[in-house]
């Protein structure tokens, strides 16, 4: 059971026969050529063993390539969804691993801030208060459409969708109504034509290039196939 949970959480690779987490462990990358065990899989340079780092999947890369990869991800506000650099490997980078390989102090600070924000956004019982200049976090036992009031800024909102409280209307209906009310604007027309709601948190996602592997910037839910409406 515990092994299944680790695999589902993308902490471990799905193949149980892969090597365990260790510096120096190796696994051939799923490409058409083989990479020697003493060569970085990205820059193909040789380094000392203490310069190689790998996740539980066993893919080895040098600290320089890891640092560059992490810096790019943090600059794009990606933290808890950072994956292994190997092709078709979706094992996630742990927070301690990332902080250890980020060289610059301000990037480590940004990573911690963004990771905290992502953890709250992905937690079903937590919500940021939508009040202006309010950074309070509201907690509820269940993610239901109920009125909550921030004790700091006194803002009232629906806990489930974050909009103004809208009882007895459900969250989906009020979202459709608000979109319809804005149909006369070009922004609303563009959203209707070029975006798709995230299947998990229902926020709008826009595809403006790249492959069909999309990731919601809000809840980090990943979907492999994206089709514009």
67-99 pLDDT, tens digit each: 999 999 999 898 888 999 988 888 999 999 999
117-151 pLDDT, tens digit each: 988 988 889 999 998 889 899 998 888 888 999 99
pLDDT for the residue 36: 60
Q: Which residues are tagged catalytic?
A: 211
152-194 pLDDT, tens digit each: 999 999 998 888 888 888 888 888 887 777 665 666 667 677 7
Q: CA-CA distance, 135 to 129, in Å (whole number)?
A: 6
What's the pLDDT band for 18 if we cut at 50, 70, 90?
very low
pLDDT for the residue 208: 67
Determine the straight-line distance between the first and last CA of the chain, rounded to whole angstroms: 39
pLDDT for the residue 116: 92
Residue-range domain boundaries for the chain: 2-119, 182-229
What's the pLDDT band for 227 if we cut at 50, 70, 90?
very low
What's the pLDDT band for 23 if we cut at 50, 70, 90?
very low
**Which residue blocks in 123-217 are alpha helix, DSSP H?**
171-181, 186-194
209-219 pLDDT, tens digit each: 666 667 776 77
What's the pLDDT band for 32 if we cut at 50, 70, 90?
very low
Question: Which residues are within 8 A (CB) of 229 and not within 5 positions of it... i.e. 6 or more apart?
Answer: 192, 193, 195, 196
Q: Is the pTM of this model over 0.75?
A: no
pLDDT for the residue 2: 62
Q: Between 220 and 110, name the one with better pLDDT.
A: 110
What are 142's two structure tokens? 């269940």
pLDDT for the residue 73: 92
Neighbour-count burial for 197-207, b at 16+ CB within 10 Å, e otherwise:
ebeebbbebee
Mean predicted lDDT score pLDDT of the chain: 79
Give the sign of the dihedral formed by CA 117, CA 82, CA 76, CA 39.
positive
The answer to whether residues 192 and 179 touch, using CB atoms and an 8 Å cutoff, is yes
Domain 2-119 has CATH 3.30.40.10: yes
């Amino acid at each position: 059971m515990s092994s299944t949970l680790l695999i589902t959480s993308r902490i471990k690779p799905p193949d149980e026969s892969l090597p365990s987490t260790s510096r120096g462990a190796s696994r051939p990358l799923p490409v058409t050529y083989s990479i020697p065990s003493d060569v970085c899989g990205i820059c193909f340079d040789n380094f000392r063993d203490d310069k190689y780092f790998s996740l539980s999947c066993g893919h080895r890369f040098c600290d320089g390539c890891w640092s560059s990869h992490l810096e790019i991800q943090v600059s794009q506000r990606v933290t808890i969804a950072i994956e292994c650099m190997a092709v078709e490997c979706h094992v996630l980078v742990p927070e301690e691993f990332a902080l250890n390989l980020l060289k610059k102090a301000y990037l480590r600070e940004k990573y911690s801030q963004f990771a905290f924000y992502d953890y709250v956004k992905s937690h079903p019982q937590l919500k940021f208060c939508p009040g202006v200049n309010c950074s309070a976090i509201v907690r509820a036992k269940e993610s239901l459409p109920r009125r909550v009031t921030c004790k700091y800024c006194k803002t009232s909102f629906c806990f489930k969708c974050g909009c103004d409280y809208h009882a007895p209307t459900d969250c989906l209906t009020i979202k459709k109504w608000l979109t319809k009310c804005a149909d006369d604007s070009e922004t609303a027309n563009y959203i209707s034509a070029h975006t798709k709601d995230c299947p998990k948190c229902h926020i709008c996602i826009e595809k403006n290039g790249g492959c069909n592997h999309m990731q919601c910037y809000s809840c980090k839910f990943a979907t492999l196939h994206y089709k514009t409406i």
